[in-house]
Amino acid sequence: MKENDYLQPLRQIDGLQVAFVARISSVNVDAERDEVMSRLRDHHARSVAALGFSTAQWWRAEQVHGNKVAVAGHSVSIMAADGLPVIEGVDGMIASSDSGLVLAIYVADCGPIWLADTANGAFALLHSGKKGTEGNILGEAVEMMQRSFGSRPENLVGVLGPCIRPPHYEFDFAAEISRQAAAAGVGRFFDCRLCTASDLSKYYSYRKEKGRTGRMMALIGRQNKQ
């Protein structure tokens, strides 16, 4: 599989921008989380700019390992340790087709989930690890997209990115996420089947590196139509 080929189902959707920023080998990540995130900030900001978005359009979740989802652009934010705002208390975000926003979440074993509506252009990005999966954050996001934007589950395309998997982790939350996507009626769902703990040359792994590691960044966005 070529780099990020698993994102092709999303890249085929007109106007949608998606990316996954994996391990950045030039950055020393043998430090505490806040320090590491500060070191990675400029690299991640450049990845946002490469998709055609400014820092002002960049929305992030606080990521508290829960199942709450918020509408980006209409939610209270707080300042994170790296000096950029995050939406307080949530692990997922949704946005409308005309929001002009780019959403970002960070992972280092937990699963990034991209969702996009092929009919109305709405999109979502979720952080789903063991606890988020147990709380069915995917199902919560699908329901919120229905309520907020009138999305129909059968029009949704979903992708699960690299995350930790057995035998490196005892709970196969990736398999559970796929089951939840089917239960929620997601029209097309793809699992990349890549394990973060299996290749530390490409990915950060919180478990394998015992917490002293970086964070990968998932992105999804859509510019306002002129």
Per-residue pLDDT of the chain (226 residues; tens, 9 = 90+): 566 899 999 999 999 999 999 999 999 999 999 999 999 999 999 999 999 999 899 999 999 999 999 999 988 899 988 888 999 999 999 999 999 999 999 999 999 999 999 999 999 999 999 999 999 999 999 999 999 999 999 999 999 999 999 999 999 999 999 999 999 999 999 999 999 999 999 999 999 999 999 999 999 999 876 5
What is the model's pTM?
Answer: 0.96
Within a domain: 226: no
Within a domain: 147: yes
Within a domain: 9: yes
Buried residues in 133-153 as b, exposed as e (16+ CB within 10 A): bebbbbbbbbebbbeebebbb
Within a domain: 129: yes
Within a domain: 112: yes
Within a domain: 168: yes
Within a domain: 62: yes
Query: How many independent structural domains does the chain possess?
Result: 1
- Domain, as residue range, for 214: 5-221
The CATH number of whichever domain residue 109 belongs to comes to 3.60.140.10
Question: In terms of Cα–Cα distance, which of 163, 76, 91, 154 is closest to 124?
Answer: 91
* Alpha carbon distance 203, 208 (integer Å): 11
Within a domain: 49: yes
